Structure 1
Amino acid sequence: MVDHELHWPLLNSLAALADAPLMQIADRLRDAVSPYLSNSALIIFTEDCTGRPQKKAGDEDIISRVSIAELDALRVVVPPEPPWTGEATIGDSSRPVLALKYRPSGALLVLTDPNQEELDSPDCLEIVTYLWHLAARRIHEKVTDAPPSYLAESRAASAERVRVTAELTDLHSTTLETLLAALRSTTLDDATARSTVTDLTAKSLIELRTLNDRTTEMVEEPVANAFGRLREELRPLTRFSGIDVEFIEPPEDGRALPGEVAHAARAIVRGLVLAMMEQPEISRIRTQWDCDGENLLINIRDDGNGALSATAPNITRLDRQVEALAGLLRLEVMSGWGADVFVTLPLDPPAVPSSDVASWNLASREMEVLQLLATGRRNRAIATTLGISENTVKFHVRKLFKKLGVASRTEAIALAHSHGIQ
């Protein structure tokens, strides 16, 4: 006789994970994994999510310090299969980790300080691997579908990451360049010391600029590459449909697309092509991208009988995706001649009136905490500045998350900056 009660915790975890919003995926995955493998922190690193490639839960001292450079370095040594264990630098400290990859998207899962006794159990690794693959597949599907909630959150987070990285790069570059000038001065007579420090400083400059370039690569995609990915994604669909799908290439020198715009554009075109294929008497669909420097311009045309309706559920769903990026979708239908769809997606986020902040109903102390949070200060620094305890700061931060409708410091900072709070 099977003990059904034994399986319910795992089944409940699976259900919670399968239904998890992207903002909560790390917390849900850690809740599911912890009964089988205790750990100090869980980090997901996926370039599918251009705005927030890191999704984290656990020890604040670890998740607040872990960097893209550390995760990039770890990903190089982790094989596609099986799970990898060893020492790695995570959060500025060398610590034991369990790392797993998800082959379809290249996503990486890192569990810090895993319990060694539990890790030695084969069943433990099988369950952790299964849960991770479920979470990684959930992330990949959500990003591919590009729902409005993901697009809006990704746009705010992308802008924030680029801004912060650019500021750090400028700050440290200036410092290091000044140091280089001083060390190269002829008034210093210790040639060996000067040469050594010069080399180290030059290396640091290269690393900082590489970090800036890496961040840009993760949040932007060349327009020609984005269109090429669309063509590859549609190839299996068009190969057996009997419908001629023509692709008009965008200019190769067009402005790079923010990641959320590239995701949305592909999802919208896929949805429109599928909607057009459902019509009778379709033999040809043409899709074209262009870029005017400020907007991605999409045009999709079919040669059907004009049966596509702007009020159809699949078209209204696509319209919501466009609206999430402050874009515009226009459908022109001519009976007997087919449908022509025009989509405009702005490449830059629109300015949000700061007056909207009033709708959050923040108390004066909560606003002070948010302003300090927006400058990148940690809880201890905020407590020192305001003359309150760190526990009180944590209390205010939890209330802020609830009022702002966010689930992390990154989201709160991105939302604050998008409303003019710097």
Structure 2
Amino acid sequence: MTSAQKTLAPKPLAQNSKTLLDDLAALVNAPLMDIAERLREAVLPYVGNSALIIFTEDCTGRPQKKAGAEEIISRVSVPELDQLRSQLPDREPWEGTATIAGAEHPVLALTSETKALVTLTAPQLPADPAERAESLRMLGYLWGLAARRIQEKVADAPPSYLLESRAASAERLRVTAELVDRHSTTLETLLAALRSNALDDATARRNVTDLAVKALVELRTVSDRTTDLVEEPVATAFERLREDLRPLMHFSGIDVQFIEPPVNGRALPGEVAHAARAIVRGLVLAIVEQPQVRRVRAQWDCDGENLLINVRDDGQGELSADSPNITRLASRVEALNGRMNLEVMAGWGADVQVALPLDPPPAPVGDAGGWGLAERELEVLQLLSAGQRNRAISAKLHISENTVKFHLRNIFRKLGVGSRTEAIALAHSHGMRAHV
């Protein structure tokens, strides 16, 4: 066994207690981008592994959080993790072989109550049955804690994280769409050729046609799955809210009534959907702390530009806009450029209205004046910040794709950024979005 391999093996359980509290503290206090590394450090004394991968739809911009072997964490994909998650028992450790990073690997995987997934590649567990059971129990405990902290951190994320998350979501969708366009054209051309009567080998043509059709379906599935992570149907988002509040309804004895949003309402950006559920959960928790509350009503609606949230209770009207819980929720709403209004009626309860914009707000051109962009460069940046691809920008501005690339290089240099994602995030931080 090499020295590198030795670091992956679990230590005897008797040696773990002296570091467990430190590992727990590091995990609880870790920023979102470091939480996979901290979780792996906490898990290693119990379950050795070559890599640890988290897949969570709470973070729409970066649904994967990874630590460990570079050859695995640099190549693992969302469809692979989504496929693995669909096969797992609910919140029970599963050991087997799965396709990770384009190859078959032995894995240990586990879901959480937040529907997130953790996957450990090349897992190593103690041989002794009792120690093995204890190691799996500790893995479940640590993973449950990490999954819940991810959900809480996303709910309390600062505006800068929300902007970066939305920019990353738009960029991932753009890249996937470009891949779908390119490969769909290739495969459709292949299908046309294979269906041609000029090919006389019917069996070969049929077999290859079936393969090409299957490849097209899989490619479209990847595109649809990526879109699902970026946007969420409003009805689906509301149903997840209902599931989130079900335990509270069961144990508190309070009747929570849900007024469904229109099923054909506009899909919600992932950040808005997660924030809306967190806001309603927070409001309901603040409301049930009041005495004599028996009924709460939660309603969502959509006017095409905003998600409209209304939460009201039948208490004595003791909810205060100055309370820490309400102040924290108001900051969350403000981070998404939303509005929150609390009306309290003594003896009749409280009524909270929230409006969350579905799009970043447009900003006047003058807001970007300090960047020194030429008029055409500014037009390209506005279209880029709206999620447009090079081909679409080229068509809209009646310039070639090479010219678009030339303008983008100049924009990156003037903005001091190194990628499309960084440029989009900076543009969104200034409220820039073209109307396309």
Q: TM-score range by the shorter chain?
A: 0.7 to 0.9
What is the CA–CA distance in structure 1 between the aligned matches of 2:344 and 2:168, rounded to whole Å?
A: 37
Determine the structure 1 residue equivalent to 2:409.
none
TM superposition score normalised by structure 1: 0.73
Determine the structure 2 residue equivalent to 1:67.
77
Determine the structure 2 residue equivalent to 1:203.
214
Whichever residue aligns with residue 104 of structure 1, its letter is: E
How many percent of aligned residue pairs carry the same amino acid? 61
Q: 1:216 aligns with which of 220, 223, 227?
A: 227
Q: Tell me by how many angstroms 1:228 deviates.
A: 3.1
- Alignment: residue pair count: 368
Q: Tell me by how many angstroms 1:206 deviates.
A: 0.6
Q: Tell me by how many angstroms 1:91 deviates.
A: 1.0
What is the CA–CA distance in structure 1 between the aligned matches of 2:362 and 2:420, rounded to whole Å?
A: 16
Q: 1:56 aligns with which of 57, 62, 66?
A: 66
Determine the structure 1 residue equivalent to 2:166.
155
SS at match of 2:76: coil
Whichever residue aligns with residue 260 of structure 1, its letter is: E
SS at match of 1:87: strand
Determine the structure 1 residue equivalent to 2:143.
135
Q: 2:179 aligns with which of 168, 191, 197?
A: 168
What is the CA–CA distance in structure 2 between the aligned matches of 1:87 and 1:200, rounded to whole Å?
A: 25
Q: Tell me by how many angstroms 1:62 deviates.
A: 1.6
SS at match of 1:254: coil
Q: Tell me by how many angstroms 1:290 deviates.
A: 0.5
1:300 counterpart = 2:308: no
Change (3 A) 1:339 1:85: closer
1:273 counterpart = 2:288: no
Q: Tell me by how many angstroms 1:284 deviates.
A: 4.8
Task: Identify unmatched segments of 5+ residues in structure 1.
Answer: 359-402
SS at match of 1:419: helix
Note the 1:20-31 alignment, pairs <5 A.
20-31=30-41
Contact residue 351 and residue 418 of structure 1 kept, 8 A: no
Residue range with higher mean Cα deviation, 261-270 or 347-356: 347-356
Change (3 A) 1:121 1:12: farther
Contact residue 155 and residue 349 of structure 1 kept, 8 A: no
Note the 1:1-400 alignment, pairs <5 A.
7-80=17-90, 83-95=93-105, 97-114=106-123, 120=127, 122=129, 123=131, 126-127=134-135, 129-143=137-151, 146-149=155-158, 151-152=162-163, 154-238=165-249, 245-279=256-290, 282=293, 284-304=295-315, 306-333=317-344, 338-350=349-361, 355=368
Contact residue 302 and residue 339 of structure 1 kept, 8 A: yes
Task: Identify unmatched segments of 5+ residues in structure 2.
Answer: 1-12, 372-415, 429-436
Contact residue 338 and residue 355 of structure 2 kept, 8 A: yes
SS at match of 2:275: helix
Q: Tell me by how many angstroms 1:297 deviates.
A: 0.5
Change (3 A) 1:183 1:349: farther
What is the CA–CA distance in structure 1 between the aligned matches of 2:133 and 2:249, rounded to whole Å?
A: 40
What is the CA–CA distance in structure 2 between the aligned matches of 1:62 and 1:321, rounded to whole Å?
A: 35
Contact residue 47 and residue 135 of structure 2 kept, 8 A: no
Contact residue 40 and residue 111 of structure 1 kept, 8 A: yes
Indicate the RMSD between aligned Cα atoms, in angstroms: 3.7
Contact residue 18 and residue 134 of structure 1 kept, 8 A: no
Contact residue 100 and residue 109 of structure 1 kept, 8 A: yes
